[in-house]
């Protein structure tokens, strides 16, 4: 344990305190998180929007600027992983369980239950439901991941700094980042990581439970979800102990293969031609409305502000809370790539994969809804399984979905455990198994407490609260990155002379 930093002890103490409070006063705890969520969504919604827009603008600028030629590492370094494996790792770590959890449910909700723009159930609302889902899962979120990951990769592999969030702020604060201020920054990042990942683990446990109930009649309750989390925790810890080049690499590739298999099955069993046409039309609608939706804060009473708070602001907060974890993981597997290659790969490839995925599942669900079977009557975690019931080979599709949820669960938690180990051991690229075990148990414990005190509502409430402090760190990272890239370009220019 000699490599362990103060970040480990502070974060562990905070997590234990949080778990104890949730266990002792669960009802009061849910009330507190609900009140905090309402306050932050209403008060800081505009701020989250501006921050995400700023990240998109900065990402575009970096891609087209001369910065893009800089390599993340020494000039003769080359990538550690092939591009397909690299994208599989991005896909597994950065998307997670939410892709399956919301795949059919979110487009259906926006189009047929609570459309923010058009009449529910209309053709226009059906299309907007898909486009709004692309918006929530697309370019904005991956720009957040890209900038955080780029900052970490640049300072770690180009400048030789430890792989810590605090190290990326040295251009602004110098050696102050080695003291209490640096510890504070890294604790914020670690805390946000634990809660961001715990939210996904909670969603996964809920949907796996729902799938088992749907297929085998297993009761939906906290006890079953506890067992699911416990089993998966053992699996992802075993994978984590095997190291990055074995466990996470193989699981990510297996995860991608399962996702492709389920996607192809739904694409061809579902309304194939409608899916392809809807994808083409709604992706264009997403691009067309990109700027307007980026700033849509619904300030007036009739603008459906509650929808913006419950969906757009929640998603922006979720992306922010996941950014230190996914950013650090993406940075770790991206050494040797140029900045331009890195940013295009991180933003464009996942956005396209997401759009195709949601178009396939969302169109299939919407088509079933329009043909007379009401999918909106089911809870979010049950929509996908009831959609499969209206299709051929429904049991096989449901089993595939449960397996994919399990692999997503394991790869997300596995990647997060590795990253949390890095964050709490001064950026070590090989954190000890003892630290990874404690951090893995911490995120599982938080997921269980959130499920215990309020299920999906508590999960969503906590995300928004955990994201706010780290969002200020992201702003400082953006400024520090631009400053460091400017200095690097000057250094390169001087060398050429």
> pLDDT tens across 439-465, in order?
888 888 888 887 887 665 666 666 677
Between these two residues, 483 and 436, which has the higher pLDDT value? Answer: 483
Contact 432, 3 (CB under 8 A): yes
Query: Distance between CA 75 and CA 70 in Å, rounded?
Result: 8
Residue 189 · residue 165 · CB < 8 Å:
yes
| Best mean pLDDT range from 93-107, 108-122, 237-251 | 108-122
Q: Count H helices and E strands in the chain, helices first.
A: 19, 0
Contact indicator for 153, 72 with CB cutoff of 8 Å: yes
Domain-located, residue 1: no
Structure tokens at 430: 């090989």
Structural domain range at position 11? 6-496
| 413: its two tokens | 């938690």
pLDDT of res. 266: 95
Query: Which pLDDT value is given to residue 135?
Result: 96
Residue 282 lies in a domain: yes
Confidence of residue 417 (pLDDT cuts 50, 70, 90): confident
pLDDT for 248 equals 61
Q: Mean of the pLDDT values across residues 464-478?
A: 87
Q: Is residue 68 part of a domain?
A: yes
Tokens of 260: 């492709």
Instruction: Establish if 194 belongs to a structural domain.
Output: yes
Bigger pLDDT: 145 vs 192 = 145
The total domain count for the chain is 1
Say which residue, 11 or 154, is predicted with more confidence: 154
Residue 152 pLDDT > 50, yes or no?
yes
pLDDT at 399 over 80: yes
**Contact status, residue 458 vs residue 33, Cβ threshold 8 Å:** yes
**CA neighbor of 445 nearest in space, from 7, 101, 12, 83:** 12
pLDDT of residue 101: 80
With 0-12 CB in 10 A as exposed, 13-18 as middle and 19+ as buried, what is 169?
A: buried
Q: What average pLDDT does the segment 377-393 reach?
A: 90
Query: pLDDT tens, 277-310?
Result: 999 999 999 999 999 999 998 887 667 788 888 8
CATH number at residue 428: 1.20.1740.10
Q: What is the chain's mean pLDDT, rounded?
A: 85
Residue 287 lies in a domain: yes
Find the DSSP H helices in 270-392. Answer: 272-288, 290-294, 305-307, 314-332, 339-370, 380-389
Secondary structure of residue 428 in the 3-state scheme: coil
CA 348/CA 486 separation, integer angstroms? 25
Least confident of 72-81, 205-214, 228-237, 424-433: 424-433
Say if residue 392's pLDDT is above 60.
yes
Please give the structure tokens belonging to residue 251: 């699981």
Residue 243 has pLDDT above 70, yes or no: no
Segment 405-430 shows an average pLDDT of 78
Give the bridge partners for 75, in sequence order: none
Q: In percent, how much of the chain has pLDDT > 70?
A: 92
């Amino acid at each position: 344990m000699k490599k362990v930093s103060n970040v480990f002890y502070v974060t562990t103490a905070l997590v234990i305190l949080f778990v104890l409070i949730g266990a002792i006063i669960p009802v009061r705890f849910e009330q507190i998180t609900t009140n905090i969520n309402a306050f932050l969504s209403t008060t800081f919604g505009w701020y989250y929007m501006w921050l995400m827009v700023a990240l998109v603008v900065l990402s575009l600028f970096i891609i087209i600027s001369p910065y893009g030629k800089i390599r993340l590492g020494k000039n003769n370094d080359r990538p550690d992983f092939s591009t397909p494996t690299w994208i599989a790792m991005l896909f597994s770590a950065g998307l997670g369980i939410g892709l399956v959890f919301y795949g059919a449910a979110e487009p259906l909700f926006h189009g047929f239950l609570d459309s923010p723009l058009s009449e529910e159930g209309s053709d226009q609302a059906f299309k907007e439901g898909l486009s709004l889902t692309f918006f929530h899962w697309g370019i904005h979120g991956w720009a957040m991941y890209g900038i955080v990951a780029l900052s970490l990769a640049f300072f770690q592999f180009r400048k030789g700094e430890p792989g810590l969030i605090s190290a990326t702020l040295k251009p602004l604060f110098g050696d102050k980042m080695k003291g209490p201020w640096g510890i504070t920054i890294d604790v914020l990042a670690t805390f946000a990581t634990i809660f961001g990942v715990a939210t996904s683990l909670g969603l996964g446990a809920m949907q796996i439970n729902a799938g088992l109930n749907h297929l085998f009649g297993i009761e939906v309750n906290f006890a079953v979800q506890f067992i699911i989390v416990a089993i998966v925790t053992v699996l992802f810890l075993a994978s984590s102990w095997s190291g990055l080049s074995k466990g996470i690499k193989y699981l990510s590739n297996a995860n991608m293969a399962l996702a492709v298999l389920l996607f192809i099955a739904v694409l061809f069993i579902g309304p194939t031609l409608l899916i392809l046409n809807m994808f083409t039309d709604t992706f264009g609608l997403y691009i067309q409305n990109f700027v307007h939706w980026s700033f849509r804060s619904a300030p007036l009473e009739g603008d459906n502000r509650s929808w913006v708070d419950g969906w757009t602001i929640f998603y922006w907060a979720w992306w922010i809370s996941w950014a230190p974890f996914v950013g650090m993981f993406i940075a770790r597997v991206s050494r040797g790539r140029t900045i331009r290659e890195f940013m295009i790969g991180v933003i464009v490839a996942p956005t396209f994969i997401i759009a195709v995925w949601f178009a396939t599942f969302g169109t299939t669900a919407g088509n079933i809804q329009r043909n007379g079977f009401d999918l909106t009557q089911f809870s979010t975690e049950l929509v996908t399984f009831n959609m499969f019931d209206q299709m051929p080979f429904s049991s096989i599709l449901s089993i595939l979905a449960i397996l994919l949820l399990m692999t997503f669960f394991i790869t997300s938690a596995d990647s997060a455990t590795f990253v949390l180990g890095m964050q709490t051991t001064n950026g070590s690229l090989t954190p000890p198994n003892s630290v990874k075990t404690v951090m893995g148990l911490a995120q599982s414990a938080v997921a269980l407490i959130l499920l215990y005190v309020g299920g999906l509502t508590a999960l969503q409430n906590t995300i928004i609260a955990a994201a706010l402090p780290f969002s200020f760190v992201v702003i400082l990272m953006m400024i520090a990155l631009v400053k460091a890239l400017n200095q690097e370009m000057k250094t390169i220019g001087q060398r050429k002379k």
